[in-house]
């Protein structure tokens, strides 16, 4: 008598591997969709994150939100500034820090970007119910929490091992 594997164990890649592959495909689809706006992947991601976090976000906070290093972000922000989509202003409280704001033209592009992303998301979600999407969202959040906890445990273990070696 054989027990049938759960569906997620029958995938060609692991479930997590499939999530990564789907993420890359979706990101590429958005990039192709917004290309007429003159936006590369790094530029539209930066604009979306500025909008998500809120204008006045510092460059450092944006880099952390995007999970990238400052030199890469600085290049992208310079390009967005050259396109007149954002302005970088020195933080009054910390002269070493710059805050990011949309220009008038940037807000127009952001509105078009949001519309195009909303359209492509409808294509991504075709054939899925709200219940399925909600269940998936809950599962992704739980996997994220579990992964963060796993990282914390590994870091504590590594620190403990290092202290023992000293």
Q: What pLDDT, in 10s, does the model give residues 84-128?
A: 999 999 988 888 889 999 999 999 999 999 999 999 999 999 999
d(C-alpha 86, C-alpha 109), whole Å: 11
Q: What residues pair up with 57 in beta bridges, in sequence order?
A: 100
Structural tokens at position 133: 């999407």
Choose between 1 and 54: higher pLDDT.
Answer: 54
**CA-to-CA dists, residue 76 to 62, 66, 108, 111, 134, angstroms:** 12, 12, 19, 19, 33
Q: Answer yes or no: are the C-beta atoms of 85 and 102 closer than 8 Å.
A: yes
Name the pTM for this structure: 0.80
What is the chain's mean pLDDT, rounded? 91
d(C-alpha 62, C-alpha 132), whole Å: 31
């Amino acid at each position: 008598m054989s027990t049938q594997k759960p569906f997620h164990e029958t995938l060609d890649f692991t479930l997590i591997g499939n999530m990564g592959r789907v993420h890359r495909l979706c990101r590429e689809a958005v990039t192709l969709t917004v290309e007429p706006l003159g936006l590369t992947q790094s530029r539209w991601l930066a604009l979306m994150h500025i909008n998500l976090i809120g204008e006045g976000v510092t460059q450092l906070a944006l880099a952390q939100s995007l999970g990238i290093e400052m030199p890469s972000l600085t290049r992208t922000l310079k390009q967005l500034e050259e396109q007149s989509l954002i302005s970088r202003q020195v933080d009054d409280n910390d002269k070493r820090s710059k805050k990011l704001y949309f220009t008038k033209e940037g807000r127009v592009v952001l509105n078009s970007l949001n519309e195009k992303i909303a359209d492509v998301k409808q294509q991504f979600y075709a054939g899925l119910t709200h219940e399925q999407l909600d269940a998936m969202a809950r599962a992704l959040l739980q996997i994220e929490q579990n992964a963060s906890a796993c990282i914390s445990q590994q870091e504590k273990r590594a620190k403990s091992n290092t202290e023992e070696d000293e």
